[in-house]
Amino acid sequence: MSIEKTRKGFVVALAGVPNSGKSSIFNKLTGGKAWVGNWPGVTIEKKVGTLRLDSVEVEVVDLPGIYGLTAYSLDEIIARNFIVEENPDLVIIVVNATNLERSLYLALSILELGANAIVALNMIDLAREQGIEIDYQKLSELLGVPVVPTVAVTGSGLQNLKKLILERAKGGKARLNIVNYGDDVENAIKKVEELLKSNVPELLKKYPSRWISIKLLEWDEDVIRKVKSYAGGDEVIREVERIRAELQNKIEDLELYMTERRYQKILEIVRSIVRQIKPKGITWTDLLDSVLTHRVLGVFSAIAVLYMLFRFAFEISTPFVDLFSLLINGYLHDWILGLKLLPPWLASLLADGIVNGVGTVLSFLPLITMFFLGLAFLEDVGYMTRIAYLVDKVFSKFGLSGKTVIPLVIGFGCNVPAVMATRAIEDENERKTAALIAPLATCSARLPVYMVIAYAIFKRAAGGVVLSMYVWSITLALLVALALRKFVFKGSSTGFVMEMPPYIMPRPDIISMKMWERTKKFLRKAGTVILIGVVFIWLLSVTGPSGFLGVNALSSPELLEHSWAGLLGRVFSETVFKPLGWDWRTSVALIFGFIAKEIVVGTMAILYGVGEKGLPATLAKLHVFTPVTGYAFMLFVLIYVPCVATMATIRSELGSRYMLFALTYELILAYLLALTVVGFGHLIGVS
């Protein structure tokens, strides 16, 4: 959504480092009502809300949580492009009072960009608890912009912030030369500014000349591209190269030097505004972190917390899942089938296709909601950052940072929210990698498949066999990540730069808002896709080369064998699946499993003419699988195409190209691994 099109009053952008309380301020200002769009040219979500001040409507845009405005992270490019190109009337810089240095780096970067800004000095209460007193009026003088102390959680200071928004949005002075880079660099900046003025004057209508000059001297590739896109830009770049070469005779690493100058300035500011009024003692956060980030006890805590999160989501949601299933797949389904007004095909389409489709999605809803509730709780109190910190060391060996653990953990519940959770990863390449490996986390829907096959074939060893699927899941996810980071999304892990936020009491409004936002997305995106998919499968099941087979095909294995689905199953079982030793029924189940993995067991039960409970005994009696082909089948189910809802989510997060990539690599990997297992079985004579 373009800001210009919706502009009614003022446009205010909210910027801040992660964990500065930016989201809390956004929610307090907008009343939590936000609409979601995408940033121009990318599929990263943009949150926009409205704030009414007197009679003026203010549009509040939540910029991504960032640490600076470099060209290394997509989020940072998005933020600076928004500030420069969309030209908001005001930028509110949310500064974390308990970690001034890091927040002030972002503040200086935004001020250098020439933005009309105000500073919200947030978490001032926590700073006081830590014995820190901040002279915010002096900070205002030093930065040249108004500073308002706030406590977003309680809403303290937000009235002053609102007043200031109205005053400053009408116009305020930007302070471009806030950092002095020393005589040599300052002279170079002036030279580059002159160059820009004479060669690319058009560019300067959009960007401040000092900022462009600084970025060119830092050799910012995004800015270089921008300058080159103007006539005369190439000449500027050539001259800048020469100026840089001259400077580098005196300063070895120019970029590092300029960053250091900014930090020197920050240190000066902090020294003159911060006063330690009492010695820093032990806080609750220090105390809890001594265990929760401990290299041994931290792991025990993480195991306990994650296990309880899973129990909370999966066990406590069970009656609600059953209730939804009973009401929709049971009562509503039967009621529609019993409607005499409808022709049988339409009743079957509505009941078996559409209602069952919606039912499948809605039966997930309690589980998903409770999972998101638990996750939002852990995020809000500040615990998820600790888990990420704990695994960072191991994950960095695979080119990932600790933050990737969150999507992977969520993936063991459901892959859809797991892919969505990758948004929290700042580095774009790492985010893509995480989103593409998330479907390898074995979701709860795959568990019934493992259980049925394992109990049918492996009997007493079933538990260990099922557990081995989890080991495969984690191993494959890490190995695929390593391969992706080495060959596709090249680069090592960006490391874990997020500071540990202090633990806070959970806030019901924030938790429920986070939970609802995620659940809503699940319903909207996954729901529609599953609905269409199930209707499609219904069509394949009730029709065949001889035409309409009748709605009885869904409950009759003989009829179903002659449907398009049955035919497809035969084609697969006699060609690609032949070396794997799977019959047409299991092949059909795998095709149906593309819609949702739960369907695999249900389909097999129908095709073998038994209920789900009698399936293991039937599979054992009919010798459908040998231990080798059965294990290969389980592995295939673990890896092959993620369900339709996950595919749709990957498409919405990364685009169609990556969705196809995920689909292809997972199919190939699943097939090759299953084939290897069967081949190995033949080799050692256990097939």
Q: Which of 311, 459, 490, 621 binds other proteins (CB under 8 A)?
A: 311
Contact of 159 with 149, CB cutoff 8 Å: no
- For other proteins, the closer of residues 139 and 292 by Cβ is 292
Which residue has tokens 């492009």? 81
Sign for the pseudo-dihedral over CA of 370, 376, 382, 385? positive
Looking at residues 320 to 359 of the shown chain, list those that interact with other proteins (rule: CB under 8 A). 322-323, 326
> Could you say whether residue 245 binds other proteins (CB under 8 A)?
no
Rounded-to-integer distance, Cα 624 and Cα 315, Å:
32
| Burial group, residue 332, by CB count within 10 angstroms (0-12, 13-18, 19+) | middle
Contact of 117 with 92, CB cutoff 8 Å: yes
Contact of 78 with 30, CB cutoff 8 Å: no
Looking at residues 101 to 140 of the shown chain, list those that interact with other proteins (rule: CB under 8 A). 129, 131
Contact of 391 with 298, CB cutoff 8 Å: no
- For other proteins, the closer of residues 383 and 472 by Cβ is 383
Q: Which of 163, 194, 234, 307 binds other proteins (CB under 8 A)?
A: 307
Question: Half-sphere exposure of residue 301, counting CA atoms within 13 Å on the CB side?
Answer: 19
CB of 263 to other proteins, least distance (A): 29
- For other proteins, the closer of residues 296 and 341 by Cβ is 296
Binding track, positions 445-464, relative to other proteins; x by CB under 8 A = ------------------x-
> Could you say whether residue 317 binds other proteins (CB under 8 A)?
yes
DSSP letters for 81-149: HIIIII--SEEEEEEETTSHHHHHHHHHHHHHTT--EEEEEE-HHHHHHTTEEE-HHHHHHHHTS-EEE
Q: Which of 292, 406, 440, 498 binds other proteins (CB under 8 A)?
A: 292
Q: How many residues bind other proteins (CB under 8 A)?
A: 36
Task: Find the helix or strand (DSSP H, E) in which 199 lies.
Answer: helix 183-199
Contact of 180 with 21, CB cutoff 8 Å: no
Rounded-to-integer distance, Cα 463 and Cα 648, Å:
33
DSSP letters for 213-267: HHHHHTT-HHHHHHHHTSTTHHHHHHHHHHHHHHHTTT-S-HHHHHHHHHHHHHH
Rounded-to-integer distance, Cα 415 and Cα 428, Å:
19
Rounded-to-integer distance, Cα 518 and Cα 301, Å:
26
Stretch that binds other proteins, among 69-77, 302-310, 610-618, 659-667 (CB under 8 A): 302-310
Stretch that binds other proteins, among 107-115, 152-160, 310-318, 338-346 (CB under 8 A): 310-318
- For other proteins, the closer of residues 250 and 294 by Cβ is 294
Cα–chain center distance at 460: 39
CB of 447 to other proteins, least distance (A): 13
Rg (CA), the chain: 29
Q: Which of 256, 308, 617, 622 binds other proteins (CB under 8 A)?
A: 308
Binding track, positions 250-279, relative to other proteins; x by CB under 8 A = ----------------------------x-
Stretch that binds other proteins, among 256-264, 290-298, 643-651, 656-664 (CB under 8 A): 290-298
DSSP letters for 144-175: TS-EEE-BTTTTBTHHHHHHHHHHHHT-----
- For other proteins, the closer of residues 234 and 315 by Cβ is 315
Rounded-to-integer distance, Cα 431 and Cα 429, Å:
5
Stretch that binds other proteins, among 284-292, 346-354, 568-576, 624-632 (CB under 8 A): 284-292
CB of 460 to other proteins, least distance (A): 9
Contact of 30 with 18, CB cutoff 8 Å: no
Q: Which of 283, 618, 626, 687 binds other proteins (CB under 8 A)?
A: 283
Stretch that binds other proteins, among 263-271, 314-322, 425-433, 438-446 (CB under 8 A): 314-322
Binding track, positions 48-87, relative to other proteins; x by CB under 8 A = ----------------------------------------
Q: Which of 1, 36, 256, 297 binds other proteins (CB under 8 A)?
A: 297
CB of 97 to other proteins, least distance (A): 17
> Could you say whether residue 282 binds other proteins (CB under 8 A)?
yes
Where does this chain bind other proteins (CB under 8 A)? 129, 131, 278, 280-284, 286-288, 290-292, 294, 296-297, 300-301, 303-305, 307-308, 311-312, 315-319, 322-323, 326, 463, 467
